[in-house]
Amino acid sequence: MLKHISIHQLQMGMYIHQFCGSWLDHSFWKAGFVLDSRDDLQRLQRSNLSTLWIDTAKGRDLPEASPAPTPSAPPPPPLQPASTTTPRVSMDEEVQRALKLCADSRKAVMAMFQEVRMGQALHMHQAEELVLQMRQSLLRHPDALISLARLKSADDYTYMHSVAVCALMLATARQLGLSEDYIRLAGIAGLLHDVGKLTIPDSILNKPQKLSDSEFEQVKLHPEAGGVILRQSPDVDALVLDVCLHHHEKADGSGYPHRLAGNQISLFAQMGAVCDVYDAVTSNRPYNRGWDPAEAIQRMSTWKGHFDQRVFQAFVKSVGIYPVGALVRLESGRLAVVIEQNPKSLLTPKVRVFFSTRSNLPLEQNVVDLAKVQGQDRIVAREAPEDWEFKNLERLWNRGPA
């Protein structure tokens, strides 16, 4: 049970769920821990915090004679189903809108980051507006924006990576059943998670070869550099800052910058870790060609100690075992590209068949809803596009203008 208490009621053994106030008011990286250090207790009591939230299910409760204060702010948003008032549209229709949204988002993120480079504080209303538009797109159809944002050039990787991770964070937060406010914050966190890379020289970020050890160590400074940038804006929520700082932490404690492990890593940072990695490995980079989306899901599922499994499973439900754009082989011997997910079954998406492995010849393109042909055909394997020398496979699902 969550309780809102004054800082003077805080006692050893209590589980701190959330601080009430700006990150500037205290020196702790994040909440989500049992208070078991008297030094930490004294630091909190000397801080500028006046109240905070504790979780009595995970730690000590208040004595019965100590009533909690009247909340000065509403409690953290509860878990609840996301709103679905935005009408659902077809994949093809939303692709048209999402193409324009991706282009507009790229320009907006470029402008926003350019202001940061010039030493200005972030204007959060710009980020809020972008997240709102992306949220509406995902409600109209969850596959379009996520799939399109993955298509990026090396030149605009920094900006479109932020857009893509924002969309993935929104989708994962919804899959986890978070409240509308938390979904919004997840999107903002995704949009700003890599803002610290603005402090890394372009010669390193865009290097066409593998980074040297010293260059990689410099890149690893970007989470804390991002934290410095975000703290300059009083409107940045603590959860957004937490994702910026800790999206490279790993469940087994081998990540950076603070080598957090397990429950030390917040839910939002765990979400950020999965979304950041997926978009990175499926994107073409100066030194590496991106993985096929289905290959990325399969490989990531084998990385022991990297991700929180509950979060990873929610992520997979959001994008699919065979995400849109994945090349798959059917039992019939035909090759197809996944064009739309089936929200009721990850194994039976809609696909567009286009090639026969038996005749080694192209086929007349045809859409097959695998949910409607169960027992007649099914996916038996994922395929690597480079093995077949197929080019521009995205044209089979992305029906935007040429």
Domain boundaries, the chain: 2-55, 91-319, 327-396
Between 369 and 150, name the one with better pLDDT: 369
Q: How many CA atoms lie within 13 A of 26 on its CB side?
A: 23
**CA atoms of 18 and 32, how far apart (whole Å):** 7
**CA atoms of 289 and 287, how far apart (whole Å):** 7
At residue 18, what are phi and psi to the nearest 5 degrees?
A: -160, 140
DSSP string, 47-61: SS--EEEEETTTSPP
**CA atoms of 245 and 221, how far apart (whole Å):** 10
Right CATH number for 91-319 from 3.80.30.20, 3.20.140.10, 1.10.3210.10, 3.40.190.10? 1.10.3210.10
Question: 396: pLDDT confidence band, cut at 50, 70 and 90?
Answer: confident
The answer to whether residue 363 scores a pLDDT higher than 50 is yes
One-letter amino acid identity for 20? C
Express each pLDDT in 317-346 by its tens digit: 999 999 999 999 999 999 999 999 998 999
**In this predicted structure, what is the pLDDT of residue 64?**
62
**In this predicted structure, what is the pLDDT of residue 98?**
93
**In this predicted structure, what is the pLDDT of residue 56?**
87
**Overall average pLDDT of the 347-366 stretch:** 95
**CA atoms of 385 and 352, how far apart (whole Å):** 15
**In this predicted structure, what is the pLDDT of residue 259?**
92
Nearest Cα neighbor of 158 from 214, 212, 204 is: 204
Cβ neighbours, 10 Å, residue 366: 11
Question: 30: pLDDT confidence band, cut at 50, 70 and 90?
Answer: low
**In this predicted structure, what is the pLDDT of residue 83?**
47
Question: 71: pLDDT confidence band, cut at 50, 70 and 90?
Answer: very low
**In this predicted structure, what is the pLDDT of residue 66?**
43
**CA atoms of 230 and 121, how far apart (whole Å):** 8
Structure tokens at 386: 């480079």
**CA atoms of 377 and 287, how far apart (whole Å):** 38
**CA atoms of 224 and 34, how far apart (whole Å):** 24
- Percentage above 90 pLDDT, the chain: 59
Cβ neighbours, 10 Å, residue 46: 11
3-class DSSP assignment, residue 41: helix
The answer to whether residue 156 scores a pLDDT higher than 90 is no
Question: 120: pLDDT confidence band, cut at 50, 70 and 90?
Answer: confident
Express each pLDDT in 184-217 by its tens digit: 999 999 999 999 999 999 899 888 888 899 999 9
Question: 85: pLDDT confidence band, cut at 50, 70 and 90?
Answer: low
**In this predicted structure, what is the pLDDT of residue 23?**
52
**CA atoms of 253 and 237, how far apart (whole Å):** 25
Q: How buried is 130 (Cβ within 10 angstroms: 0-12 exposed, 13-18 middle, 19+ buried)?
A: buried
